[in-house]
Amino acid sequence: MNIAKGKAAQKIVVQYLQKHNYLILDQNLSTKFGEIDILARDKNTLVFVEVKSKLSLNSGEAAEQVTPRKLRHMVLSSQAVAKSLKWENEVRLDLICVEQSKISAHIQNLELS
C-alpha cells in the first residue's frame, strides 16, 4: 500500500471509530514486532486496529491481506503494548477494511488459527 493511500484509509477508519464512540489513543504505534495502525478504547476494551485498504475488488478481499504471520505480529504487538500500559481489562484485535474509500468490513476479535 502506498503511504498516501494508507493515510487516507486510516483517516476514514479513525472517523468511523469515533462515530461509533471509540476513543482513539494512538496511531502508527511502533513495537519491536511491528506497527499498530490504531490503538483505541471501546468502553473498557483496549482495541488494536489493523487497517487494510484496496482500490478495487478485482484482486480479492482486503481481509485476505492479513497473513498468519501478520496476525502473529499483531498479537505480539498488542501483548507488549498492553503490558507496558499495565492494562488489566479486555484486549481485542480488530481488522477494518477500506475499499474504494468506504468501510467494507469491521471484523472484531481476530484470533490466531
The mean predicted confidence, pLDDT, of the chain is 88
E-only strand ranges, the chain:
23-31, 34-42, 45-54, 91-99, 102-107
What is the structure's pLDDT at 55?
62
Q: What is the pLDDT of residues 6-17, one digit of tens each?
A: 788 999 999 999
CB 52 within 8 A of CB 97: yes
Q: What is the pLDDT of residues 73-84, one digit of tens each?
A: 999 999 999 999
Structural domains of the chain ordered from first start: 3-107 (3.40.1350.10)
Between 59 and 85, residue with greater pLDDT? 85
Q: What is the pLDDT of residues 21-69, one digit of tens each?
A: 999 999 999 999 999 999 999 999 999 999 988 765 565 665 677 788 8
What is the structure's pLDDT at 101?
87
Handedness of CA 83, 42, 26, 33 (dihedral sign): positive
The stretches of 20-109 forming alpha helices (DSSP H) are 68-84
CA nearest to 33, candidates 74, 86, 93, 5: 74
Element (H, E) at 9: helix 3-19
